[in-house]
Structure 1
Amino acid sequence: MIIEEGKINSAALILDNIDYEKDPAFVFLMLAHATEMKHHRFVRKILHTEDTVFKRKMNALDEYKNLLVSLSEALRDTAMHPVENLAVTKYFLDSLFLLISDKGSLKYDYQHDYLYSSNMICNGLKISKATLSRYVNLGLEVVDTNKHNRYPAHVIFYWKESLWSSRIQAIFQAFKIRNRTRLDIIKELEEEKRTYEKSHGNKSFYEVYAQVKNPDELEDPEKYYDWKDIMDELEELTNEDQSE
């Protein structure tokens, strides 16, 4: 069961003492701590991964300031349901981290009673286990643990409404794309290449288009160029690996 948060807002004390003119990374860490303080019954700790690289210079100042305002408002709020408030706060905190860093992710260490089982999430969202798995692939948060309860309570808030689920999917993809390694990209390109080959009787690009002199005269020239781009990028990445 989720224990309701009290009305005393300890986060406001931290917010009142933050120097917002300081380095964005410092400001972020203070806001993350404020989130921990306000939602200590739900969250033990918020940490960024070891591979995190913060930006040396902030260019999107307007977006940065807007996120600070939104995050501050969420942390000061005492009227919203605490689970919903953590959901909103977390979204803005994740968005801020994405904006001020070039690489890395945030890790949330949740209290045990804040984590739900798949059955509870499915019942809350009125979906099947298959749909839940699809949502996870799209960005629904799941904790890396071998215990039965793996889903933070706030995922129900996110995925009940199309607006919030769209926001979560967008930020999930943004983190996924920017944190991709070279091996991740090669793997994705290999999968795309295999898809093209299967649709052409398991023939390679060079076998399919061996006799082509002018690709623009093909019935579907876009397919040719898309497939060729995949092959060229794969070759380039493979050559880079061999030269290192």
Structure 2
Amino acid sequence: MAGGMSSSLFRHGRRRDGFPPSLWLLPPPGALAQALQTLISTTLPKRIPGTVPDFQPHITISSGIPVKPGDDFKSLLAEIKLPDQPPIILFKRVRYGTALWTKITLEINKSTSLKNLAVACRAAIVPGVDEAKAREWVENYTTPAESGEQGFIPHLSLVYWDEDIHKPEFDSVRFGVHSDVTDAGVKCEDGWKGEDVDNVEVGDMAGWKGGKLVIVDTTQPVEAWKTSILAEREL
């Protein structure tokens, strides 16, 4: 889920309001997907003081998809003209953000293939956004520490949390998260330029190629998102 939502909307693992559906990219089934799910569902919540919600590993490609009665989300996905090259996902680093949805994430290298996917999808599903506007949003530099309202921040969230994780009292939490991610076998590779990532042979636990696009009914509480998929399309 993109950031920019006030943390007052989210307490003790539950959302108070719904937001329009979002378009996610899910990893393909396998060891990486299972490792990410275990981190999100089991391992990292033990590090966090208080309750945090469970959700499936995903990269938000675009949020704020409008809903009208009778919408055919399956057709909406099918009509997206996908780029010829499937997206290359390569984890960059563990990142701690200020927005609720980006509090603890795996930052994603901004590959050209991933940017092209985001442009195609955003231009197709967000009203009033053409390819030029979608490209401007995707190319704008921002990081998971920020809200994501002004640009594309490719990341895979590991924890949704209200607290300011940068406080000294949470130093042990940050240290523990890094250890848990490493122990899970997840690998991060920093230092790549976006256009070079598409030529990388991504290791089994460092990211993936392709995946599945899903439209998720994020008007539901976070706990329901796993069973709130409105449509899906394999890449």
Query: The TM-score by the shorter chain falls in which range?
Result: under 0.3
Question: Bigger relative contact order, structure 1 or 2, given CA contacts below 8 A and separation 6+?
Answer: 2
Which structure would you say has the larger Rg?
A: 1
What's the TM-score, normalizing by structure 2? 0.25
What's the TM-score, normalizing by structure 1? 0.24
Between Structure 1 and Structure 2, the one with more strand by share is: 2
